Structure 1
Amino acid sequence: MSIHSCDPRQNKILSALSESELEHLAPHLELIPMLHSEILFEAHDQLKSAYFPVTAVASLLNCLEDGSSVEVAMVGNEGMLGVSVVMGNDKPLTQAIIKTEGHGYRVSIKALQTVLARCGGRRAGTLSKLLLRYTQALFLQMSQTIACNRRHALEQQLCTWLLSCFDRGDSNSLSITHELIAYILGVRRESVTVVAKKLQQEGMIEYSRGHIDLANREKLEGNACECYRVVKEESTRWIIDAKTSVAA
């Protein structure tokens, strides 16, 4: 998708805003490319901007002192990067790295806070409610990811992870290396290669160096762990709640 065909309402949060609130926010939104492996912000750094992806997908990573990392959540066009600011903290607890390149909208923290304050009013502001409801869904995703990493086999984890990437990118193709997948999942690259080869042999995916295609969704979903269903259902639920909130 070209930059010229992007629209703020491709992001689920921005799409659920009332016309008046989107009008307040729109002048502060800057459409930017989000490049593969680009780090948007580091953990504990001063957060200068928040991001609303439209075609890009990012990983939120917990990075340890020994240089290892593990993904605790992923964010695509259903959400926002930098939600800690909604809770009054402008220093994020995770690193955000782009794993599926595309485009998104950037807004400065100062401008976002100004819009949140201006649109507060007696209804507490649609944007404020949307961001708080999305944060709740993100917390559920994080807790489910922790349980998944601890209790489920890598094959199940990878199936769940791939499906989540396909869903958030609105595509059945994914440009990513085994090295980056290993970095994100906190496992050895060789382990990812072995599992990916098995999934390809069983007709679930097709892959070449740096590229993975979905071959059979039904099989891949059948091989994924329960975490995929739990997180997807919550993602669907929060969007329905958001639209109901706006209409009320």
Structure 2
Amino acid sequence: MPATKPAPAVNRLIAALPHPERQRFLAGCEPVTLAFGEILAEPGAPISHVYFPTESFISLTTTMNGPARLGLLLVGDEGMLGISLILGLNRSPLHASVQGPGQALRMEAAQFCRALERGTALPGLLKRYLYVMMGQLAQTGVCNRFHLLEARLARWLLMAQDRAHSDCFHVTHEFLARILGVRRVGITKAASALQNRKLIRYHRGDIRILDRGGLEASACSCFRLDKSLYARIME
């Protein structure tokens, strides 16, 4: 699948560190390849590793009504998995699984905590990122309650495109229905509307973004608010 731009060589959080601290931090990381559907965290389970996606992206969900899960955030090269460690809590609050396969950097949780203790820029950087995540979680709550499904779907597809660094990625109607908390028929109707306007092409789970500008115009304001929050706090 053709990429719109080359995947970044390193996670953006790590890249924001001053050079000496960044080099020390990278020395404690190992490159890993994350597989589609791989489970990286379960609610309440101890955190063994933190992950910094570079090409991959991770879906964060919370449980509702038994096995059903509602989507909260996507984490790609702009973020990390395991942020609760900066609060001194070695438990995952959410379910995390790989939605976009690819490369990531991984560090053992104990080593990450040591890096926090001796780091100068790292603790402040990750506290700002935690603030951004809190704001985005709140925005998702508003979005799920008040915005129409077609706009919410457009928002999710844009978020996925940004983290996949590609116009093409794989996601099924069944997964989208679970992640957006709606019936599958609703996703089919919303996706068909976007496809009929030639904003996307969808076939057997493979989605291609055809008109990024048109899709942004169809998305709810939450997408722009999420991006502006990250830019204001992190950049």
**Is the pair's TM-score, using the shorter chain for normalization, greater than 0.5?**
yes
* CA displacement 1:124-149 (0-9 Å, x = unmatched): x1111111111111111100000000
Give the TM-score of the pair, scaled to structure 2.
0.93
Q: 1:98 & 1:188 partners in 2: Cα distance?
A: 22
Per the TM alignment, residue 169 of structure 1 is displaced from its structure 2 partner at its CA by 1.8
Task: Tell me how far 1:238 sits from its aligned partner.
Answer: 2.7
Please name the residue that 1:115 is paired with.
115
Contact 1:176/1:212 (<8 A) preserved? yes
Shift of 1:173: 1.2
Which has a greater percent of helix?
1
Q: Distance in 2 between matches of 1:189 and 1:103?
A: 31
Structure 2 counterpart of 1:139: 134
Q: Paired residue for 1:71?
A: 71
More displaced, 229-238 or 178-187?
178-187
1:23 is matched with which residue?
Answer: 23
Q: Which residue of 2 aligns with 1:236?
A: 231
**1:92 to partner: Cα distance:** 1.5
Q: Distance between the aligned counterparts of 1:186 and 1:174, measured in 2?
A: 21
Shift of 1:234: 1.1
2:29 partner letter: L
Q: What is residue 96 of structure 1 aligned with on the other side?
A: 96
In structure 1, distance between residues paired with 2:57 and 2:233: 19
Does the 8 Å contact 1:59/1:184 carry over to 2? no
Q: Flag the 1:112–1:13 CA change in 2: closer, same or farther, 3 A.
A: same
Deviation >6 Å, runs of 4+: none
Identify the match of residue 185 of structure 2 among 181, 190, 215.
190
The count of residues paired between Structure 1 and Structure 2 equals 231
One-letter code aligned to 2:86? V
Post-superposition offset of 1:225: 0.5
Using the TM superposition, give the Cα deviation of residue 158 of structure 1 relative to its aligned residue in structure 2, in angstroms. Answer: 0.2
Q: Which runs of structure 2 are paired with 1:197-208 in the superposition (5 Å)?
A: 197-208=192-203
The yes-or-no answer on 1:169 pairing with 2:173 is no
Look up the match of 2:50: 50
The Cα of 1:6 is off from its aligned counterpart by: 7.7
Any unmatched runs of 5+ in structure 2?
A: none
Q: What is the alpha-carbon distance in structure 1 between the residues aligned to residue 53 and residue 129 of structure 2?
A: 14
Is the CA contact 2:34–2:103 (under 8 Å) kept in the aligned structure 1?
A: yes
Q: CA deviation at 1:103?
A: 1.1
Q: Structure 1: 5+ residue runs without aligned partners?
A: 120-124, 241-248
